[in-house]
Chains A and B, each alone.
Chain A
Amino acid sequence: QSVLTQPPSVSGAPGQGVTISCTGSSSNIGAGYAVHWYQHLPGTAPKLLISGHNNRPSGVPDRFSGSKSGTSASLAITGLQAEDEAHYYCQSFDSGLRLVFGSGTKVTVL
């Protein structure tokens, strides 16, 4: 059972936008630890998408953005493209300095 909770799936038509939530607690996100987001395609290693609240590594389109408020965080994808179809995971730390992941969200482009 994952420490951080994400919706199992979200979907949208090409060009539309979707938002993925990541809900934690006062022991992790609410304690001030940053939230990071990864894109995971089948058969490949996860790829860092957003570091911290909204820092994109080189090469990540600005269609991806992150935000955080209280004990939750969100990843927004605008202008959905077929290549965005993947699993997305949030990640943070908890008060025991343990690495924790979200349960994962499958994004489907209709």
Chain B
Amino acid sequence: QVQLRESDPGLMKPSETLSLTCTVSGGSINYYHYYWIRQPPGKGLESIGYISYSGSTNYNPSLVSRVTISIDMSKNQISLRLSYVTAADTAVYYCARGFPYSSIDSWGQGTLVTVSS
């Protein structure tokens, strides 16, 4: 049973860069797409972007200027960097996995990121 676990950056200040890592265990990292998805308080799910196991990426147009997703096959890790965070970036951030252009079959437990001065 594959497991995904996000790191916990906790509290951040405006203008800082958010760095999150997702560690995949219990299964091969190959053949899947890996997603970063967030849910602001009281709102719905929002896709941040995804990366294939081969390294190709696709980002939400509203975030593309601030986001970078990368993959380290040797460590079974997927990383998210979001620059210049504001209070609007406060959300639960999920790492997730799915077959290319299909459903998402595995999710991390989520990590709450709070941006506050």
Residues of A at the B interface (CB closer than 8 Å) are 2, 33-34, 36, 38, 40, 44-48, 51-52, 57, 87, 89, 91, 93, 96-104
Number of A-B contacts (CB under 8 A): 59
Say whether A91 contacts B104, CB under 8 Å: yes
Interface residues on chain B, number (Cβ under 8 Å) = 21
Say whether A89 contacts B45, CB under 8 Å: yes
Say whether A93 contacts B101, CB under 8 Å: yes
Measured CB to CB, the closest approach of chain B to A104, in angstroms, equals 4
Which residues of the other chain, B, contact A48 by a CB distance below 8 angstroms?
A: 103-105
Give Cα A99–Cα B107 distance, bound, in whole angstroms: 15
The list of the 6 closest CB pairs from A to B, nearest first, reads A45-B107, A36-B103, A104-B44, A51-B103, A99-B47, A101-B45
Which of B37, B58, B108, B110 is within 8 Å of A96, CB to CB? B58
Give Cα A48–Cα B109 distance, bound, in whole angstroms: 14
Which residues of the other chain, A, contact B47 by a CB distance below 8 angstroms?
A: 98-101
Which residues of the other chain, B, contact A52 by a CB distance below 8 angstroms?
A: 102-103
Say whether A45 contacts B45, CB under 8 Å: no
Residue in chain A with minimal CB distance to B50? A99
Contact flag A89-B44 (CB < 8 Å), given A96-B58, A99-B50: yes
Which residues of the other chain, A, contact B103 by a CB distance below 8 angstroms?
A: 34, 36, 48, 51-52, 91
Which of A33, A45, A89, A98 is within 8 Å of B94, CB to CB? A45
Measured CB to CB, the closest approach of chain B to A86, in angstroms, equals 13
Name B73-117 residues within 8 Å CB distance of A. Answer: 94, 96, 101-105, 107-110
Which residues of the other chain, B, contact A44 by a CB distance below 8 angstroms?
A: 109
Contact flag A2-B94 (CB < 8 Å), given A36-B103, A48-B105, A98-B58: no
Name B22-54 residues within 8 Å CB distance of A. Answer: 35, 37, 44-47, 50
Say whether A36 contacts B104, CB under 8 Å: yes
Which of A46, A51, A97 is within 8 Å of B58, CB to CB? A97
Give Cα A57–Cα B80 distance, bound, in whole angstroms: 29
Q: Is B60 an interface residue (CB 8 A)?
A: yes
Give Cα A69–Cα B110 distance, bound, in whole angstroms: 33
